[in-house]
Amino acid sequence: MSTYSNYEIAVKIDDKALDYPPTNYTFTLQDSIHTLYPTASFYFDDVGGLFNEFLTFINGTKMEITLGLPDDFIVCPYIIIKNSIPDQASTNGFGGVTNVSLVHEYMYEQSKKSRAFKDEITNIIKRIVKYSFKKMTLETTVNKGIWYQPFIYDTEFIINNMLPFAYSSTAKNTPYYCFINSNNEFNFVSYQHMFNNSNIMELKLVPSAITQSVGLDSVYSVFPIQSSISDIRSFLNTTQYSFDKNNALKIIETEISDYRGNNNKIPIRADLDNKTSINELYSNDCNDENIENNNKGLTLDYMRNIFTLDKVILVCNLNVKIVSGTKIKLGVPIATDNQKMESSLRYSGEYIVERSYHSWTSFGANSIIIASRNNITVPSTYLNSGVLL
């Protein structure tokens, strides 16, 4: 490992340290609560073309990247899945900046399997995930019964065949997410579990011109962004249906406001008398408790996008403590009428990190964070506050 310009940076290729100054390469580490595998983009200045000549970056090569500060860094193993040299920079021959796309190593450590399990979901995950992650966080579900892995990869089985059904009463009507973060940590947890985390990272927007902006908790810029209303329209007023053992139609009707927390408001306005979607659940013709629990999970799965509809994009100093699934408390100052700086009630507050991007360039390192939530607290005097959902 090497310390460079106060950062801890290291790249290993097939377990051997890349003996090349970090100024000759840049990279970005990305993770998301919406996708299982973290990815990375790596740009290497191979002007003479020798690294490519000696097959350094061929697809399937293992590559481990370390990034952070000397006393706080993340390490994640990847596999090269794509490489290219789009621009030839050398005047004497072959060579240029090599673009390498990476995905977490676990993706290529699996083979397709045909098997069945009769167990609870997280017990099955414990049994089938043989990879050594730095940490595994699994939140128990109530989903039992028989699960088939029909000649697919373990992770496809987890994501496609089990995750959509995941349900527990402790999740407080929130869906489960399954993801590996950029610190090589595997998570199978509910949104509520992430929000219950007492280890909150506090961040505050600080103008870049003042000295506090060098702190780890400093945010240079905040860009609020809401999901498009057309993207969330189908979640506003949903109807789920199934048939029971008497062949009778069973209807579950939910509104988006059923999924807000702490009696806060969801920052959109809409007419909830209008039906916006209809989804079929599994018919429980044999009165099976497992089907009932699976349907509860599926109902939440249909609603998963509403939990991240109110987003902020944060640009800050490199802070590798913030990865997907981290809970943050954001402070956003705003100038009030009397020219005093106060905390924005609209944008300050607690969020869950939905995506994180940690980048290293020869100019330094930074983090771009997308954090989200689905409800806010604002005074009744605010415009439109009375018509929020």
Residues within the interface to another protein (CB under 8 A): 113-116, 118, 146-148, 150-151, 160-161, 164-165, 280, 282, 294
CB 141, min distance to another protein, A: 15
Which CB, 115 or 275, lies closer to another protein?
Answer: 115
CB 389, min distance to another protein, A: 30
Which CB, 151 or 382, lies closer to another protein?
Answer: 151
CB 76, min distance to another protein, A: 30
**CA–CA distance, 176 with 12 (Å, rounded to integer):** 33
CB 286, min distance to another protein, A: 8
Which CB, 114 or 228, lies closer to another protein?
Answer: 114
CB 244, min distance to another protein, A: 15
Which CB, 39 or 149, lies closer to another protein?
Answer: 149
CB 301, min distance to another protein, A: 10
Which CB, 20 or 148, lies closer to another protein?
Answer: 148
Which CB, 164 or 215, lies closer to another protein?
Answer: 164
